[in-house]
Structure 1
Amino acid sequence: MFGITEYLTDEHRDCDELYAKVERLVSEGRWQEATEAFRKFKEETLKHFQKEEEVLFPEFEGRTGIVMGPTQVMRMEHAQARELISKMEKALEKKDKKAFLSVGETFMILIQQHNMKEEQILYPMCDQHLDAPEVVHKMESL
């Protein structure tokens, strides 16, 4: 059974790969394929956020009593990421390569820093304080 860190870090890598595919397709002007790939990227990224916001963060906060700490920052960054995903989607609909790639670059900077904080700080804290198999099972059930 995976620990929380391994499970969610693998999802980060999967989402990164999905985004890289979208970016490549947009760069090549393959709009139909890019739109399909973007839908998958968006779906997986938002599902990952949902797992954290509906399962992981509440479990961590309930167990540790820490509610104004890392989970609050992660939720704020999820909101910023959702806003950037929405802007990328609009650029994609307009077939605006320059706008898509520009917003995409901002998104990647945000998400890489965000993921690093989760992977190096929050997830290990969760593995330390929570029943990892139980939490992973709950996230899988969403």
Structure 2
Amino acid sequence: MTTIKTYLTQDHRECDKLFSDLENHVAQKEWNEAKALFEPFEKAMIRHFEIEEQVIFPAFEQKTGFVGGPTRVMTMEHQQMRGVIEGMKGALKEQDRNRFLGLSETLMILLQQHNMKEEQMLYNMIEMHLKEENDDLMKEVVNR
């Protein structure tokens, strides 16, 4: 079975692709296409956040006792990104290209920094500490 790190990193790439496609349609003022892509993008992002917040992070915290450490920071960043995504939804509904693209630029910066911290540090820690739990956790993740 795939590792937590491999799965979550690949999930980042899939969310990035949806985000890029969405942003490109808004930039071209292709509103129908953008609206059709927004829901899958939002669902993918929220699903990713929830997998981490409800499955992976609690297991890591329980195993290591690192409550309030790196997982808390990542969760706070998720909250910040949720707010930006909500703003993007409103801008898309209003077909406000400039507002949408400004918010998407903010989200891109947040995502790049966030994903780098997860992929280069936190996922390695998670993989190291949850090696024995990997298969059970992945079953739970895949069934979400």
TM-score, length-scaled by structure 1: 0.98
Question: Are residue 99 (structure 1) and residue 99 (structure 2) matched?
Answer: yes
Alignment match, 2:40: 40
CA distance in 1, matches of 2:115, 2:128: 18
Report the CA distance between 1:17 and its aligned residue: 0.2
Report the CA distance between 1:128 and its aligned residue: 0.6
Report the CA distance between 1:87 and its aligned residue: 0.3
Give runs of aligned pairs for residues 43-82 of structure 1, distance below 5 A.
43-82=43-82
Report the CA distance between 1:135 and its aligned residue: 1.3
CA distance in 1, matches of 2:121, 2:140: 21
CA distance in 1, matches of 2:41, 2:57: 22
Question: Where does the alignment leave 5 or more consecutive residues of structure 1 unmatched?
Answer: none
Tell me the number of residue pairs that the alignment of Structure 1 and Structure 2 aligns. 142
CA distance in 2, matches of 1:134, 1:123: 17
Report the CA distance between 1:93 and its aligned residue: 0.3
Report the CA distance between 1:120 and its aligned residue: 0.8
Match of 2:137 among 114, 135, 138: 135
List 4+ stretches of structure 1 deviating above 4 A.
none
Report the CA distance between 1:132 and its aligned residue: 1.5
- Superposed CA offset, 1:25-68 (max 9, x none): 00111101101101110000100101001000000000000012
Report the CA distance between 1:139 and its aligned residue: 1.1
Structure 1 letter corresponding to 2:80: Q
Q: What is the CA RMSD across the aligned residues, in angstroms?
A: 0.7
Aligned to 2:106, what secondary structure does the other structure show? helix
Alignment match, 2:113: 113
CA distance in 2, matches of 1:106, 1:97: 14
Report the CA distance between 1:138 and its aligned residue: 1.2
CA distance in 1, matches of 2:58, 2:112: 23
Question: Where does the alignment leave 5 or more consecutive residues of structure 2 unmatched?
Answer: none
